[in-house]
Amino acid sequence: METYLSKRLSRVAAFIPDQAVLLDVGSDHAYLPIVLVQQGKITRAIAGEVVDGPYQSALANVAQSGLADRIQVRLANGLAAFSPEDGVTAITICGMGGRLIAEILEAGYEKLSDVDRLILQPNNREDDLRRWLQENGFRIRQESILEENKKYYEIIVAEHGEMVLSDEELRFGPDLLKHPNTSFRLKWEGELDKLSYALASIPEHKQQERNILLTKINQIKEVLARVS
């Protein structure tokens, strides 16, 4: 069976250390573990899924790939999919909201001490996820942003350590601010358009609401002016 990764999951794959023991949380179709094992980048993985439909689809895909001896598919909520004996060294959590990713990490926090690297791809609320990492003994090693099918995706790679992020870094990403690319600029130009449109619909007398939006708008303008 030939399995292909989307551009988004290929970028995630690039951050997984060679020969890691991977837990992919919310694996859905299990494409990421399957391709990584097929490529020989990793030898062992666990595909965790909490919903029965995607779990069955992951099971079927892994069986079809002939890799059932290397990839275990487990029906489990978040980090309950592994125990210390599994020797997991890297965890991917992709395609979910930033708050849900933070909740999953929080719920299994004590298990993270032996895990070297988290590769996280939130679909939104990246700021909340960065804040959780900062408050829970992680530092961001690398970040990436890409566009696929007219959507922008951020990837956050974190390891154990300390960091102190400014409000701007929490929102825009410390590493993305250092290495802004076209996707970064286009994402934030789009956000600026959306917020400006929203601002135009708020009546003048609702000054407090307008000020909240104006603060966000000005922050984006400042960042875009700096990176353009």
Mode of pairing for the β-strands spanning 151-160 and 117-122: antiparallel
Burial of 38 (0-12, 13-18, 19+ CB in 10 A): middle
Binding of ligand SAM by 94 (CB under 6 A): yes
How far does the chain reach from its first CA to its final CA, in angstroms?
44
- Shortest gap between Cβ of 30 and ligand SAM (angstroms)? 9
Binding of ligand SAM by 90 (CB under 6 A): no
Q: Fill in the per-residue mask, 24 to 43: x = in contact with ligand SAM (CB under 6 A), - = not in contact.
A: -xxxx---------------
> Which member of 17, 95, 97, 137 binds ligand SAM (CB under 6 A)?
95
> Which member of 47, 91, 96, 129 binds ligand SAM (CB under 6 A)?
96
Residue 29 vs 131, nearer CB to ligand SAM? 29
Classified as helix, coil or strand, 159 is strand
Residue 149 vs 228, nearer CB to ligand SAM? 149
Backbone dihedral angles phi then psi of residue 10, each to the nearest 5 degrees: -65, -40
Where do we find the tokens 């990837």?
A: 155
DSSP states of 99-139: HHHHHHHHHTGGGGGG--EEEEEESS-HHHHHHHHHHTTEE
* Residue 111 DSSP class: G
Binding of ligand SAM by 50 (CB under 6 A): yes
Using Cβ positions, the residue closest to ligand SAM within the complex turns out to be 26
Binding of ligand SAM by 10 (CB under 6 A): no
> Which member of 14, 39, 43, 51 binds ligand SAM (CB under 6 A)?
51
- Residues of this chain that interact with ligand SAM (CB under 6 A) are 9, 25-28, 48-51, 54, 77-78, 94-96, 104
